[in-house]
Structure 1
């Protein structure tokens, strides 16, 4: 019996040896993208390759790959022109190492989520709803576009896409930065700090020019948030400009055209976290671009032609005292009234009865706002500088390189946290508010940031969906060869402006467009051999800036925009009157910015030269078309004695 068992064991072992010897020593694997677009190139990863040459067969096409035992290889530039194709990997003997059937969807479907999001935002003016539908539609496309896929996409919309966006550490750094700086703004708006800044500026006012210029300067000083800017400046300067016979429409224009532009281009504002987060997300899929998102934002600031020229034109109109169009009519009407508000619209009457946000019966001290803001700026910029030096190591480095390598996310966290702590300590040390009140107002400031943070989260989630659907690859394939790099900034500026005008949300436009625009601009420049060159990088930075600038421009023209509504409300101006008087100015500045900013940069003109020529064009237009309203009444020349708190 033992001899028989031993004989069968030997035979079985021999049989297994022969069978195993006939099989390939390893089973290779194929890793294709989850979503493949028809006619759009994709990459395929081959893993666990045997040593020697192997052949990849895709329908009737073959690709030769030289493998190394257990190694992996990347096959680039594969395309599928049909909805399905067979993929097979064979070795030198013709044995199949791996096989798979690939499916592809029509390429235009990858653009559908972003396109639907934009159309819904235009139609219903609800950015969050539009972003959610875009995410849901993208998930439905990825899951196969049947009825069962709809339920899977609905579950994944929050459980996968939004959760992935929220679980990213850099994303959460941006969220915490926005919450902390919102809390700081909530404290300094109520402990008399921002009101103190306003009172210091108002002491020098002696006439209409000083009243308008001081309003502009106060808007520059309160740069950290556009909402706070509009509300604080409007409520503070309304009584002053009324006495100086400045129209409420002109006050609303100065506020509206200062708040968003200055917040968009300053180095430390509530906008920065949002913008840097979007830029970082847009850059995440560009492996050859290693610059930090904060560095890209800083480098793009000079190319923000519209915000810069908008601020310039506001200063021109306030300093020269010239206006045209409906604004000139409003100014003449205010002068005829001699600073007396005899007839109030419903909106103006409501605003006149409102109370200012500053807590009553506390001393008004500018340092309570200035010190936290300086701490915020100093620690944020200092943190970026320090972490940049650590990253570069010993040696001599330029300031641009240092800030480019700095950890902007951590630095913004340090700065915003420190500013909150300083604001609380200063409030408690002066016994301006109880600790429970201070905490309450801090939370009120935090709550004011929930809407933009929600938009940001949804935008990040839609960006993840677009990346999975290879939307940017489709845009590159469709437009990359036909779209001239010189026209990139101008086209982006117009599209962003139109979308912001129709939706009334600059942040929503930035959230939808930035993840699409940045990869497209990079690919267009790459196809023209301009990436990393002295000619190409300005166009790339200008493309990033054009999203931001176009969103602000459309925001200024739109009666639906939040800053438009806030500026009119805080100024006590009728909304229709504000839009009607501001629109000619916004259109003029937008046209000049488009031609001498976005388009000029695309054709190789230096940004500073384009801005200089644009400013001269605006000045010339104002001198030729603008007129001074009738001479101000003598009573408006006297100095203004403000009470401790200006009434709303």
Structure 2
């Protein structure tokens, strides 16, 4: 089906996310419409809404026919259990206390650097990154009369950019799963690694954070907040019982180091040839086991309590797992429909190729802003962008980097982003105050990035 109807599913997805601001509904509507179009494509002349629904459900079930896809879904659930174990054990609070009592932060600059580098080190998961850095630093920010809005900006603008640059985490595994359906010039892992120097928004965002921390200067709405730090405080505070720092450190270190080890192992000694979905699943499972054993042997938790904690954590991530499931199904369906091929033809005939990366960055920004999720944005745009690479010979690293950067930028600007909300909670900053003070910095980074992709398109295409 090489006609305009093939672009209807992604258009419907974009309309729904702007209208309802709900990515799960948008992905389901797009998937259902794609399956109905596929029924007509294969010659089914008579079908009912029920047949379209059945085809949609079978497409979702078909996701599990891929071992890699199934690993990603299981990993997404296990991350919820791991985070729940870390919270319940009090390991995060204990680590905070240890660092503070050690005299590591004794000036505003050192406090800011501590927040930044904590977010860098905890690159495994964006929410874990902001929770750790926020809880670690907010008391110190109060001591040096720095606003909670500044803390919220630092941890929010560090977490996602770091996660998308240091890809030994769920972000990398998820993107690898989305890339698995396309025959790219290089391996999916090599392509993903190649996006690192081209992910201009993530790099610019981190540079802006470092400038703010080192110089101590703030601008615009954030400068206003600095003049009245108490006004940025939220009404609630996060309290966790302190136990031992090892309850957080050991599982986290297990996950980081074992993930690297499993990448080497599954790649027969080559890191870039490693299997991302296997490595991240094995490492997360091992980290969960370590966390379980630590808490069980402490004598404070029974087996049933730990199981309940783990499943509660999994339940918190069910919306994310649903997004992953629908996005994988939609990517397969759109590939069968030929959406990417048709759009590639339109781009080749009507748009200068050099501007394609900038336009994909812009599209990703709009979708991510409207939905509050970068992962859902990747699910919509990667099935569109990768066929452009295959059919038009565009640089895969540049196209993918533009999509990833757009997803992160829109997420930074969005008041309905989960990372925005968690950053506010972790820092103890009012949500709307955080959105208002971070937006100017994100917009500056977004404009510079758009220009950078135009220049990169002129140079590389």
Q: Matches of 1:156 and 1:573 in 2, distance apart?
A: 46
* Offset of residue 414 of structure 1: 2.0
Aligned to 2:263: 384
Give the alignment's TM-score, normalised by structure 2.
0.92
Q: 1:211 to 1:495 in 2, by over 3 A?
A: same
Corresponding position of 2:164: 264
* In structure 1, C-alpha distance between the alignment counterparts of 2:69 and 2:447, rounded to whole Å: 35
Distance in 1, Cα, partners of 2:251 & 2:318:
22
CA contact (8 A) 2:6 2:337 kept: yes
Task: Determine if contact 1:191/1:432 at 8 Å carries over to the other structure.
Answer: no
Alpha-carbon contact 2:147-2:232 (below 8 Å) kept: no
Q: Does 1:151 align with 2:19?
A: no
When Rg is computed on C-alpha atoms for both structures, the one with the higher figure is 1
Q: Match for 1:212 among 108, 112, 121?
A: 112
Name the residue aligned to 1:15. Answer: none
- 1:544 corresponds in structure 2 to 400
Aligned: 1:601 with 2:456 = yes
> Which residue is equivalent to 1:303?
198
> What whole-Å deviation, never above 9, does each CA across 1:161-187 have from its counterpart, x for those lacking one?
111113321100111222223322221
For 2:94 and 2:194, the matched residues in 1 are separated by 34
Q: Which of structures 1 and 2 has the larger relative contact order (alpha carbons within 8 angstroms, sep 6+)?
A: 2
> Could you say which structure has the higher strand fraction?
1
2:442 matched to which residue of 1?
Answer: 586
Q: CA deviation at 1:605?
A: 7.0
Would the aligned equivalents of 1:481 and 1:524 in 2 still touch at CA under 8 Å? no
Aligned equivalent of 2:209: 314
Q: Does 1:199 align with 2:101?
A: no
Residues 1:584 and 1:180: Cα distance change in structure 2 (over 3 Å): same
Which whole-Å CA distance do the structure 2 matches of 1:237 and 1:133 have between them? 42
In angstroms, what is the RMSD of aligned CA positions?
2.3
Task: Give per-residue Cα distances to partners, 1:574-610, cap 9 Å, x unaligned.
Answer: 22222221111111112222323x233323379xxxx
Q: Hey, what's the Cα distance between the residues in 1 that align with 2:272 and 2:166? A: 17
CA change 1:500–1:191 in 2 (3 A) is same
State the Cα distance separating 1:125 from its structure 2 match: 0.4
1:546 to 1:240, Cα distance in 2 relative to 1, 3 A: same
State how far apart, in whole Å, the 1-side matches of 2:326 and 2:243 are. Answer: 42
Question: Equivalent residues in 2 for 1:622-637 (5 A)?
Answer: none
CA deviation map 1:476-527 (0-9, x unaligned) = 22112444443232221111012111222211111111111111123221xx
The reply to whether residue 555 of structure 1 matches residue 423 of structure 2 is no
Once the 2 structures are TM-superposed, how far is the Cα of residue 243 of structure 1 from its aligned partner? 2.1
Match of 1:162 among 57, 60, 67: 60
Determine the structure 1 residue equivalent to 2:225: 330
The answer to whether the 8 Å contact 1:183/1:442 transfers is yes
Give the TM-score of the pair, scaled to structure 1: 0.66
Listed as ranges, the gaps of 5+ residues in structure 2 are none
Choose from 454, 479, 490 the match for 2:358: 490
- Which has the larger share of helix? 2
The separation in 1 between residues aligned to 2:289 and 2:430, in whole angstroms, is 39
SS in 2 for 1:189: helix
**Matching residue of 2:24:** 128
* Counterparts in 2 of 1:260 and 1:344: CA distance versus 1, 3 Å: closer
Alignment pair present for 1:254 and 2:161: no
8 A Cα contact 1:176 1:413, kept in partner: yes
Moved more, 148-157 or 548-557: 148-157
Q: Any gaps of 5 or more consecutive residues in structure 1?
A: 1-35, 38-106, 335-340, 391-401, 526-535, 607-648
Distance 1:421 1:547 in 2: 35
